[in-house]
């Protein structure tokens, strides 16, 4: 299976601090992967590099079958190529309705002129309704996103991520601020998504990671410390050392 995303030998420093140090990582087109690691391990910086927010000092990031370098693309171009990102804090457009938020995210031509002439077609409307139903926001479509409860904003953002129809989903702490029941639904959704997408989940909550039941990459000080099943990495003496040392 050829990789969808291939990160190799990437390093980046901020004011002399090596946030990412010779990091290599790859994920297939239909794979669920959890990234864990202590604070400051470089999890968020890794996502920033893949989404084009941060430019690495060295290394390569290639994408897709044709092996396009993501380093040459802007954030918007990377997003259009099929990388979707969900932030840790829910970031929705609070001043706009749930329907508008979803319509914005809906896969469509992204240029200014296309937006001017954009018309929500029957298929598009149906898709927005489906997504809203999927996350339980059907009754809230006409409300402003800013009025939603915290958990609902998380769901809205997840729905927006799905509306983009990305090939790779980068999900930062999806379970933060969710109740136990909601976490279970999130787990189920992520596992289901991984059947047709590549999904990378960054998470602190070990319990949550266990439920995902997938390959785990442990980051430490900007590079990969261990990779494998959760049982495998938790048995790794180095990993235990890192967690114990911090704990």
Partner 1 sequence: MTLPLTETPTPATQAPAPLSSFQKYPGGPGAEPPAGSGAEPRGSAALAPRSFLAKNPSVFWFLLALAVLTAVVTILSPALGMGAMSTSFVKTLGKTLCLCIAALAMDVVWGYTGILSLGHMAFFGLGGYMIGQWLMYARTEEIVVAALASDPIPPTAIEIAQGVTTQIFGVVGSSDLPLVWSFAHSLPLQLMLVVLVPGVLAGIFGWLAFRSRVTGVYLSILTQAMTLALSLYLFQNDSGLRGNNGLSGLQNLPGLAETSQDDLSIWFFWASALGLALAYLLCAWATSGKFGSVLRAIRDDEARVRFLGYPVEGFKLFVFTATAVLCGLAGALYYPQAGIINPAELAPIASIYLAVWVAIGGRGKLYGAVIGAALVSLLSTWFTGGRAPQVPLGFYTIDWVDWWQVLLGLAFVCVTLFAPKGIGGIFDRIAPPDRKGAPLGPDDGALMEKEARE
- Interacting positions 111-130 with partner 1 (CB under 8 A): 111-113, 115-116, 118-120, 125, 128-129
| The pair of three-digit structure tokens given for residue 83, joined into one six-digit string | 């990388």
- Out of 24, 30, 144, 221, point to the residue binding partner 1 (CB under 8 A): 144
Of 65 and 74, which has the nearer Cβ to partner 1? 74
Contact string 63-82 vs partner 1 (x = CB under 8 A): -----------xxxx-xx--
Q: Is 142 in the site for partner 1 (CB under 8 A)?
A: yes
* Residue 194: CB minimum distance to partner 1, A: 11
Task: Describe the strand order of the beta sheet including 68-69 as a list of residue ranges.
Answer: 17-27, 5-14, 58-63, 68-69
Q: ∠ CA(227), CA(27), CA(91), 5° rounding?
A: 100
Total chain residues near partner 1 (CB under 8 A): 80
Q: Is 227 in the site for partner 1 (CB under 8 A)?
A: no
Of 3 and 156, which has the nearer Cβ to partner 1? 156
Looking only at residues 172 through 191 of this chain, which bind partner 1 when binding is defined by CB under 8 A?
179, 182, 184-185, 187-189, 191
* Residue 26: CB minimum distance to partner 1, A: 22
| The pair of three-digit structure tokens given for residue 237, joined into one six-digit string | 């003496």
* Residue 22: CB minimum distance to partner 1, A: 25
Looking only at residues 20 through 59 of this chain, which bind partner 1 when binding is defined by CB under 8 A?
51, 53
- Out of 192, 196, 232, 238, point to the residue binding partner 1 (CB under 8 A): 192
Q: Is 232 in the site for partner 1 (CB under 8 A)?
A: no
Q: What is the rounded distance in angstroms from the CA atom of residue 86 to the CA atom of residue 131? A: 16
Q: What is the rounded distance in angstroms from the CA atom of residue 143 to the CA atom of residue 113? A: 27
Of 26 and 97, which has the nearer Cβ to partner 1? 97
Q: Is 196 in the site for partner 1 (CB under 8 A)?
A: no
What residues contact residue 194 under an 8 Å CB cut-off, 6+ apart?
Answer: 30, 31, 32, 214
* Residue 5: CB minimum distance to partner 1, A: 16
Q: What is the rounded distance in angstroms from the CA atom of residue 218 to the CA atom of residue 234? A: 10
């Amino acid at each position: 299976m050829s990789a969808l995303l291939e990160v190799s030998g990437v390093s980046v420093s901020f004011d002399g601090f090596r946030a990412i140090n010779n990091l290599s990582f790859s994920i297939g087109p239909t794979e669920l992967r959890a990234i864990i690691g202590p604070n400051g391990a470089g999890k968020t910086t890794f996502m920033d590099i893949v989404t084009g927010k941060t430019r690495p000092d060295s290394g390569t990031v290639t994408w897709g079958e044709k092996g396009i370098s993501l380093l040459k693309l802007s954030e918007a171009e990377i997003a259009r190529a099929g990388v979707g990102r969900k932030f840790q804090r829910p970031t929705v457009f609070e001043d706009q309705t749930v329907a508008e938020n979803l319509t914005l995210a809906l896969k469509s031509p992204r240029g200014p002129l296309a937006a001017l002439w954009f018309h929500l077609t029957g298929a598009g409307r149906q898709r927005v309704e489906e997504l809203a139903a999927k996350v339980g926001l059907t009754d809230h479509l006409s409300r402003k996103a800013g009025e939603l409860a915290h958990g609902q904003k998380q769901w809205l953002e997840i729905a927006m991520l799905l509306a983009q129809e990305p090939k790779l989903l980068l999900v930062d702490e999806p379970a933060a601020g969710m109740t136990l029941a909601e976490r279970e639904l999130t787990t189920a959704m992520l596992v289901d998504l991984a059947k047709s997408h590549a999904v990378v989940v960054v998470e602190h909550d070990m319990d949550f990671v266990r439920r995902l039941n997938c390959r785990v990459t442990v980051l430490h000080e900007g590079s990969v410390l261990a990779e494998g099943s959760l049982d495998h990495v938790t048995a790794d003496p180095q990993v235990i050392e890192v967690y114990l040392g911090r704990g």
